[in-house]
Amino acid sequence: MTLRIHRVGPESAGTVHQLVHAAFAARPPLHPPAEALAETPESIAAALAPGGGLIAEMDGEPVATLILDPVGDVVFLRRFGVLPSHQHHGLAHRLVIAACDAAGDARELRVLARQELPGTIGFWLNAGFVEIGRKAPYVELRRPLVASYAVPDAEAMRALGERLAGTLRRGDLVVLSGGLGAGKTTLTQGVGVGLGVRGEVTSPTFVIARVHPSLADGPALVHVDAYRLGGFAELDDLDLDTSLDDAVTIVEWGEGIAEGLSESRLEVHIERAVGDDPAEVDDQADEAGDQTGDEDPLDPRVVHVRGRGPRWLDTGHRPLG
């Protein structure tokens, strides 16, 4: 059987309405009744207009759906429904993973569940959500999509990298971004320590890429600097594909360039509390600072980590716990 989950808009309101009505009508009677049962194709079309939705098809047959409702940097999952004939086969969990990917740059997902349905609440808890409040008849739950860490100095940045290494395995891709001198290489040094690789991890700016073999039986570290690359084609010309499956690959300045290397990736962005205008920072001075990790203690960092793709959106493989 072939599962396909795809993004839809108001043009698919009829199909979404049919799926929602069939799924919610099969649930136990509630008081007050589920609002989803009062939906019409017109109201579904209006709900789909801001953020769209998802439809899951099994062998071409629509079997599940949800609506994405963006509110600021939060996306609410509305009208989440799976046809009774396709429940209890992991489809709902796959739909949640697809929703995480479809949420774009949102910081978290939220959902409302009925208090009278403990099984439904349990599903959301198992899908990585946590309860944040109750207002009868609803329970509100959230799932963060971005983990943020305050990093006061270079030592803490290396420690965070070492901790991150504990979650990485062969084939993983890390896309590392941040301003000049933000500490990208310092973080990578910590990853190198955590992976137990050979050689000093320094900025690969002028050699573009370095390979650090493992000192044990772990994956090698491929450290790439895409700052001077013109795009994915130049990155692909580095012939990194031969090592991606067997190594952990970290691409500095990889945002907008390296995403095509893997279906799944970790996006790590380092934000400076007090940053210079990149146009006024000397490249070589920045490289030296980034190598040694001599960040200004008065300029702390915040590191934002977001998983993309099935490798990281499964609740069993979330970065940094």
SS3 289: helix
Query: pLDDT tens, 119-132?
Result: 999 999 999 999 99
The CA distance from 251 to 173, in Å, is 8
Proportion of the chain above pLDDT 70, given as a percent: 84
> Which pLDDT value is given to residue 261?
82
| 131 vs 254 pLDDT, higher one | 131
Domain limits of the chain?
Answer: 3-144, 147-317
> Which pLDDT value is given to residue 305?
95
Per-residue pLDDT band for 150 (boundaries 50, 70, 90) equals very high
Please determine, for residue 49, whether its predicted confidence score (pLDDT) is greater than 50. Answer: yes
Mean residue pLDDT of the chain comes to: 87
Structure tokens at 219: 């994956």
Strand partners, 135: 138
| 210 vs 63 pLDDT, higher one | 63
Mean per-residue pLDDT, 127-147 = 95
Q: 3-7, 211-215, 238-242, 315-319: which range is least confident on average? A: 238-242
The CA distance from 198 to 206, in Å, is 20
DSSP string, 122-158: HHHHHTT-EEEEEETTEEEEEEESEEEEEE-SHHHHH
CATH architecture of 3-144: 3-Layer(aba) Sandwich (3.40)
Strand partners, 75: 70, 109
DSSP state of 33: P
Q: How far is CA 264 from CA 73, 120, 134, 154, 174, in A?
A: 22, 28, 35, 28, 9
Mean per-residue pLDDT, 105-133 = 96
Per-residue pLDDT band for 40 (boundaries 50, 70, 90) equals very high
> Which pLDDT value is given to residue 160?
97
| 18 vs 294 pLDDT, higher one | 18
The CA distance from 128 to 241, in Å, is 32
The CA distance from 101 to 297, in Å, is 35
DSSP state of 315: G
- As a CATH number, domain 147-317 is 3.40.50.300
The CA distance from 113 to 99, in Å, is 17
Strands 53-58 and 61-71, bridge-based pairing = antiparallel
Residues 205-210: contacts with CB within 8 Å, 24+ apart? Answer: 205/283, 205/287, 208/238, 209/238, 209/240
| 231 vs 189 pLDDT, higher one | 189
| 291 vs 173 pLDDT, higher one | 173
User: Which range is most confident: 24-28, 53-57, 225-229, 311-315?
Assistant: 53-57
Mean per-residue pLDDT, 101-123 = 95
